[in-house]
Amino acid sequence: MKSHRFAVDGMSCRSCELTIERKLKGVPGVASVEADAPRGEVRLDCDGPAPSLDVLNAALGGETYILRGCETPSSLKRPSIGQILGAFAAVFLLGWLASRIGLLDMNFAVDGAGGFWAVFMIGLLAAASSCIAVSGGLLLSSAANYNRRYGSADGITRMTPVFMFVAGRTLSYALFGGLIAMIGKLLSPSPFFTGALVVLAASYMLIMGLDMLKLAPAWLRAIQPRMPKWIARRVVDAEGREHPAVPFLLGGATFFIPCGFTQALQIYALTVGSFAQGGMILAAFALGTAPSLLALGWASTSLKGKAGERFFRFAGALVVVLGFWNLQNGMTAMGYPLRLPDLRAAPAVAAEDPNVQVVDGVQVIRMRLGVNPAYHPSDSYIIKAGMPVRLEIAGIGTGCRGVLTVPKARASVALTRQLNILEFTPKNPGTYAFSCAMGMFPGIITAI
């Protein structure tokens, strides 16, 4: 038995590893395969000489993954600066147009219809990338096994295992998404920890987006935590079972073969504190991947050549934008909102704020929940340091707006009543950011 190593172009995640291993195991003479995405390598254990690169690349069967000698330069071409700028320009233009006509919630809030469609779009992007390859392979093989044993010539009947697989996947994502959210609620994380989780999820998205743009170095991809491969292999190895419920169960088990998109949303669900909301996040993602799965590989057969390159540049730019957006949200939830530097002269700060009233030695800020802006009459207030502050927030919040938090003061309140009270004392001058639990709807209190 001899081991042979090859470099692989196009391999980026755990799903890619499993896809390559499954395809290369069928090559004559190959006894075992071990793929390593962070290193961009695959090891073949063979009974003698390794098959030729032409044979191995033919087994991979497409343009997604290309094997080469470890000393051979990569064949992947990075996009030019103009192409990258064009992709980001397209993202911002389409985002602006969608927000103007109300089709996209630019706050990426997952507690309403706009948020559902935002996550659904992420599912569509994931389904159009190689991240869905393992799920697509399991669907095809389990459907073939099912129809060979139970199927008939009727077209609708032969689609039964496909519908079972997609239904099992969607229900599983909804159930486990809800359970993840409940685990997060039981842990009762602090606003700082919640914000840190959002930052972690955003970091996943940034690395994925850079990888899709072919800009992520190997060391950056390697720092992402990954689910143990043996769990994913157990799911993949179950495809040969002949029980009629296998397609449904395999679809549900794909929750444990996460791509980077899934892992980012799983981390995100941990912070929402609601079974229904957590379930909706992951179910929306699964439904976003459903059209591709129902079409049995639509993305892999349609997105080729120049059109495919342009689409993936656009998708990578979109994921990077979403990653930066959620990075800002996470930092706000931690109490350290990110701001662009202002080179203008600092305006004079008024000694008193007309929206702040002093009642019996307490500075009272009265606000109510709105839509746009999120807080009325303002999202910026000026107070005096060293004097107690009482926020009176009118309105019942939903989703992430169910909580208002001031992380720097370690104070928060659940907005469950028509009038909600939050009290703290700013000991030192400075800025005290306040926001919803996820940092999506921010405001600033300046203590002077």
Assess whether pLDDT exceeds 60 at residue 355. yes
Q: How far apart are the first and last CA of the chain?
A: 74
CATH architecture group of domain 2-68: 2-Layer Sandwich (3.30)
CA distance linking residue 364 with residue 172, whole number of Å: 47
Give the number of other Cβ atoms within 10 Å of residue 211's Cβ.
Answer: 21
Q: Which helix (H) or strand (E) holds 97?
A: helix 81-100
167-224 per-position pLDDT tens digit: 999 999 999 999 988 888 787 666 777 677 777 767 777 777 787 777 877 777 777 6
Q: Which residue has the tokens 């969607």?
A: 170
SS3 string of 338-349? CCCCCCCCCCCC
**Given this model, what pLDDT does residue 98 score?**
65
Burial classification of residue 385, based on how many CB atoms lie within 10 Å of its CB (0-12 exposed, 13-18 middle, 19 or more buried): middle
Reading the block at residue 91, the tokens are 């993202």
Q: What CATH code would you report for 356-447?
A: 2.60.40.420
Question: How many residues in total does the chain contain?
Answer: 448
CB distance 265 to 120 below 8 Å: no
Helix (H, G, I), strand (E, B) or coil at 272: coil
List, by residue range, all CATH 3.30.70.100 domains of the chain: 2-68
CA distance linking residue 328 with residue 337, whole number of Å: 6
**Given this model, what pLDDT does residue 255 score?**
83
Q: What's this model's pTM, rounded to 2 decimal places? A: 0.59
Name which residue leads in pLDDT, 9 or 343: 9
Burial classification of residue 233, based on how many CB atoms lie within 10 Å of its CB (0-12 exposed, 13-18 middle, 19 or more buried): middle
Q: Which helix (H) or strand (E) holds 413?
A: strand 411-414
Burial classification of residue 374, based on how many CB atoms lie within 10 Å of its CB (0-12 exposed, 13-18 middle, 19 or more buried): buried
What is the pLDDT of the chain when averaged over all its residues? 76
Name which residue leads in pLDDT, 377 or 423: 423
Instruction: Please give the share of the chain, as a percent, with pLDDT higher than 70.
Output: 69
231-271 per-position pLDDT tens digit: 666 666 655 555 667 778 878 887 876 565 676 677 778 77
Q: Which long-range contacts (CB under 8 A, 24 or more apart) does 70-77 make?
A: 70/5, 70/6, 70/7, 70/41, 72/7, 74/7, 74/9, 75/9, 76/9, 76/10, 76/214, 77/214
